[in-house]
A and B are shown apart, each in its own frame.
Chain A
Amino acid sequence: MATEVLMPALSPTMEEGTLAKWLVKEGDAVKSGQILAEIETDKATMEFEAVDEGIIGKLLIAEGTAGVKVNTPIAVLVEDGESVSDTPAPKVAEAVMAAAEAPASVSAQAAAPAPAPVVAAKGWPHADLPEGPTKTMTVREALREAMAEEMRRDPNVFLMGEEVGEYQGAYKISQGLLDEFGAKRVVDTPITEHGFAGIAVGASWGGLRPIVEFMTFNFAMQAIDHIINSAAKTLYMSGGQMGSPMVFRGPNGAAARVGAQHSQDYAAWYAAIPGLKVCMPYSAADAKGLLKAAIRDPNPVIFLENEILYGRSFEVPTDPDFTIPFGKASVMREGTDVTLVSFGIGVAHALASAEELAKDGISAEVINLRTLRPIDYDTVLASVQKTNRCVTVEEGFPVGSIGDHLASTIMQRAFDYLDAPVITCTGKDVPMPYAANLEKFALITPAEITAAVKSVCYR
C-alpha cells in the first residue's frame, strides 16, 4: 500500500517552505528515521526524517522548489514489489507544482527572484514610503539589514541574546551577523534574561550601544526590572548625567498555537513607562526604518516584533540612511467614514477589514501608529476630526490597552467631533488557549473589526 509523504510543518508559524534538497532518489529503500530531505522553514533549514519504511516510488516535488504548502504530498513511498503506478494519482501535486513556481516569500537567503507580484497579490499595501528606489524584502531580512548596517556604522553597537550567534538566531533574524562581526559583537548568552539584561544596561552606561534580543518578549518578563528600573529611569534619577542608549528587541504577541505563556502582547505595558520609547513595526519598511532609528536613539527603546510578520514581504527603500522618525504614524489607506488605528500585526487585520468595508461602501482610513511611545496623537485626532468615528485594533488584553488610552485621548481632545463612541477591538480577556479554534476566538479578527465599524457607522 503506497504512502504519501507530506510536506511537514516544522515550526509553529510555518505555512509553507522550500524543499531545499532531496537526500534520497527514486528507487531508494528507506528506513524509519532516515533523513529524506532538507527543508527550509521560516526559521531554519531542517532535516526531514522518514516515519515509515519503504521504497521511494516517486519524488513529487523537485528539489529547490519554494513555497510548498504544508501537507502537500512531496513523495510517494511504496512497499517492496509495488510499482509507483499502483499509487493513486497525485492530483494535488500538480496544483502544488504550479503554486511552487511562485517566488519564495520565506527564503531568508533571498536567492529567489524578487517576489514583487506576490506582495501585491497578498494585498499588503505600502503607500507610506518616501520617494526613491525600493526593493522587496521580508520583515526578517529588513531587521537583519538594519542591524548589520548600524553595526557597520558604529563599532560600539553589539548584539547579545540567546542563540543570536552560532545558532544564527532562533528566528533567523541575526543570520550571518556572527560571520561578519565576530563573537565580540554578536554575543551568545546563557539562558539568563534577568542577568544579561542587567549586563546590557551596565554596558550602555559604559559607552556601548547594546541591542538585546529576547527570544520572545514573554521571556523579558524575567528582565523587566532592569528594563524599567535600571534602563528607563536612570537618566531621570541621575539628573540627566547618564542614560541608557540601547534596544531591547524580539518577537511579541501571539505566534501560532504556542499557548498562554508564549503568546502575550506587551505593547501597553511598555508604552506606560516614561523613559522608554516603544516601537511596533508592521511592514518590512517599518521594521528597517524604525530599528535603525532605535539603534541610533540615545534612549532605551523597546522594539516589539511579530513572529507571524517575519516572513511577509514588503517594499523597503534602498537608501541606507532611510530611517523612520519616532512619533510619526503612517496613513496606510485614506478614508472618510471611519478611522481605524492600529500597530504591528493589527494593521494587517485593519487593512483586511477596510478592504471588506469598501465592498459595503464604507470608506475606512487606516492609521499605522508605528511607535507607541511617543504616540502620534495629531495624526489620529486629525483623522477622527475628518471621519468622526474611530475603532482601535490591537492584539493585547482589553484592560488598560493602547485603545483605551486613545479612546480617552480622543474623548478629551475631539469630543465634539465624535458621532459615535470609540470602540476598542482587542484580544480577549483570557490567557491564550492552545486549541486551534479557541486561539482564533481569543485573537482579534478582521470580521470583528468590520462589525465594530458597522456599529459605529450605525449600519
Chain B
Amino acid sequence: MAAKKPAERPNASKDELLKYYREMLLIRRFEEKAGQLYGMGLIGGFCHLYIGQEAVVVGLEAAAKEGDKRVTSYRDHGHMLACGMDPKGVMAELTGRIGGYSKGKGGSMHMFSKEKHFYGGHGIVGAQVPLGAGLAFADKYLGNDNVTFTYFGDGAANQGQVYETYNMAQLWNLPVIFVIENNGYAMGTSVKRSTKSPSLWERGAAYGIKGEAVDGMDVLAVKAAGEKAVAACRAGEGPYILEMMTYRYRGHSMSDPAKYRTREEVEKMRSEKDAIEHVRDLLLQGGLASDDDLKAIDKEIKAQVNESAEFSKDSPEPPVEELWTDIYA
C-alpha cells in the first residue's frame, strides 16, 4: 500500500464527510464494544469483527437509494449498521436476546431486516453470492430499478458458486453489484497463498462482466466507484464487480491468534491507511471541522454504542416458546 496521502482537497461536502466520519466511527466503536462483550462472555460462538473495513460499506451505502438490497457473509455487523439498522437490535442479537433482530435465534452471522432490505448474514462461504443475484433477479422480474449489493470476501472468491452466478448474472443481465471485500486473508490464508490470479475482479472478464479494483480504505474512492457501478446497473447494463482492497485489523474471528501476519503489517495499515483517520484529516485540514466538533461526535457515538450494549444486556433471553416458532410461515 502507498504511504499516507497528503491532505488533499476533498471532493465531498462538509456534511457528507461528517456523515461518513460518523457512520464509520459507529461501526468501529460498535465492533470494539462487541469484542469487549465477547471477552466478558456476553457474546458467544463466532464473532467476526469488521474493524478496518468500514469505508467499504459506508462508501457503498452512500451510492445506494431506498429499495436497493444488500446481502453479505458472516462478517456482517458493519453492513447492518451502515444500512441503518438499529445498533441496539444488532447488539442484542449478538448477546442472544429477544430484543435482537432475529429474537436471539440467528446470532452474529444471521441477522436480517426486511425494512432495511438487508438479507443476511450468511455463514456458508460464498452462498450469499447466488442469493444476491436472486434478489436482483426478483427486482428485474418485478420491473423496478433496484440494485443488489452482494458482498463477499477474497476467500469466497474461490468458491465455484461465485462463477456459476457470474455466468447467469451476465446471461440474464441482472442488476447485481458483486463487491469483493479483499482484506488480504481468507481466515489465515493470504490471497497469495490461495490463488495465482493477479486480481480477483478480473475473473469477471471471462463472463464479460465489467469491474475494477478500488482503494477500499478511502471512503470517497469507494463511493465514486459505487456510483459508477450503480449507474451502470440501474441503466440495465447488467452486473458489475468492485474489488475493494481493504484490510481487517482484528483476527478472522475472536478466537484467531493471527499468527499468519506480522504485528508490523497491521500497524503499518492502521497508521498509514486508516479510513477513519483519512476522513478526519480531510475534515480538520480542510478546515471543515474543528477538533472539538469531532470530539463531540466521538462522544455521541460512544454514548450510542454504550446504549446498545446496555440494551443488549438488559433485553431478556428469548422465552422457551421461541424455540418452536418461526420454523414455518
A202 and B121 form a contact (CB under 8 A): no
Query: Per-residue 0/1 for B117-129: is the Cβ within 8 Å of any A Cβ (1 yes, 0 no)?
Result: 0011111100101
Q: Which of B111, B122, B142, B168 contacts A196 (CB 8 A)?
A: B168
Query: Per-residue 0/1 for A203-246: is the Cβ within 8 Å of any B Cβ (1 yes, 0 no)?
Result: 11111100000000000000001100110001111111111010
Q: Which of A236, A240, A242 contacts B119 (CB 8 A)?
A: A242
Closest to A194 in B: B161
A202 and B127 form a contact (CB under 8 A): no
Give chain B residues whose Cβ lies under 8 Å from the Cβ of A230.
122, 124, 127, 131
A195 and B165 form a contact (CB under 8 A): yes
Tell me which residues from 147 to 193 in chain B have a Cβ below 8 Å from any Cβ of chain A: 160-161, 164-165, 167-168, 171-172
CA–CA, A4 and B161, complex, Å: 51
Q: Which of A198, A207, A236, A240 contacts B131 (CB 8 A)?
A: A198
Q: Which of A187, A238, A299 contacts B112 (CB 8 A)?
A: A238
Known: A236-B327, A239-B101, A275-B328. A203 touches B167 (CB 8 A): no
Give chain A residues whose Cβ lies under 8 Å from the Cβ of B105.
236-237, 239
Query: Per-residue 0/1 for B97-135: is the Cβ within 8 Å of any A Cβ (1 yes, 0 no)?
Result: 000111111100011111000011111100101111111
A237 and B124 form a contact (CB under 8 A): no
A240 and B325 form a contact (CB under 8 A): yes
Tell me which residues from 53 to 77 in chain B have a Cβ below 8 Å from any Cβ of chain A: 69, 71
**Residue A325 at the B interface, CB < 8 A?**
no
Closest to B163 in A: A195
B127 and A206 form a contact (CB under 8 A): no
Known: A189-B168, A192-B168. A240 touches B134 (CB 8 A): no
Q: Which of B142, B160, B172 contacts A194 (CB 8 A)?
A: B160
CA–CA, A389 and B123, complex, Å: 46
**Residue A184 at the B interface, CB < 8 A?**
yes
Closest to A195 in B: B164
CA–CA, A139 and B227, complex, Å: 51
**Residue A197 at the B interface, CB < 8 A?**
yes
Known: A237-B120, A238-B102. A195 touches B112 (CB 8 A): no
Q: Which of A207, A235, A237 contacts B138 (CB 8 A)?
A: A207
B60 to chain A, nearest CB (A): 19
Closest to B131 in A: A202
Give chain B residues whose Cβ lies under 8 Å from the Cβ of A274.
327
Q: Which of B71, B100, B127, B141 contacts A225 (CB 8 A)?
A: B127
**Residue A77 at the B interface, CB < 8 A?**
no
A238 and B130 form a contact (CB under 8 A): no
Q: Which of B71, B110, B329 contacts A237 (CB 8 A)?
A: B110
A206 and B69 form a contact (CB under 8 A): yes
A225 and B110 form a contact (CB under 8 A): no
CA–CA, A132 and B205, complex, Å: 59
Give chain A residues whose Cβ lies under 8 Å from the Cβ of B321.
none
CA–CA, A195 and B119, complex, Å: 17
Query: Per-residue 0/1 for A156-179: is the Cβ within 8 Å of any B Cβ (1 yes, 0 no)?
Result: 101000000000000000000000
Give chain A residues whose Cβ lies under 8 Å from the Cβ of B127.
198, 225-226, 229-230
Query: Per-residue 0/1 for B187-230: is the Cβ within 8 Å of any A Cβ (1 yes, 0 no)?
Result: 00000000000000000000000000000000000000000000
Give chain B residues whose Cβ lies under 8 Å from the Cβ of A192.
164, 167-168
CA–CA, A239 and B69, complex, Å: 19
Known: A190-B168, A235-B326. A196 touches B102 (CB 8 A): no
A188 to chain B, nearest CB (A): 10
A194 and B164 form a contact (CB under 8 A): yes
CA–CA, A448 and B172, complex, Å: 51
Give chain B residues whose Cβ lies under 8 Å from the Cβ of A260.
none
Give chain B residues whose Cβ lies under 8 Å from the Cβ of A431.
none
Q: Report, nearest first, the 8 A-B pairs whose CB atoms are least far apart.
A: A202-B134, A206-B138, A198-B130, A195-B164, A239-B102, A239-B103, A238-B112, A298-B329
Q: Interface of A with B (CB < 8 Å)?
A: 156, 158, 184, 187, 189-190, 192, 194-208, 225-226, 229-230, 234-243, 245, 274-275, 277, 298-299
Q: Can you show 12 pairs from A to B with CB atoms below 8 A apart?
A: A200-B134, A202-B119, A202-B130, A202-B131, A206-B139, A225-B127, A229-B123, A237-B110, A238-B110, A242-B114, A245-B329, A274-B327
Q: Interface of B with A (CB < 8 Å)?
A: 69, 71, 100-106, 110-114, 119-124, 127, 129-139, 141-142, 160-161, 164-165, 167-168, 171-172, 325-329
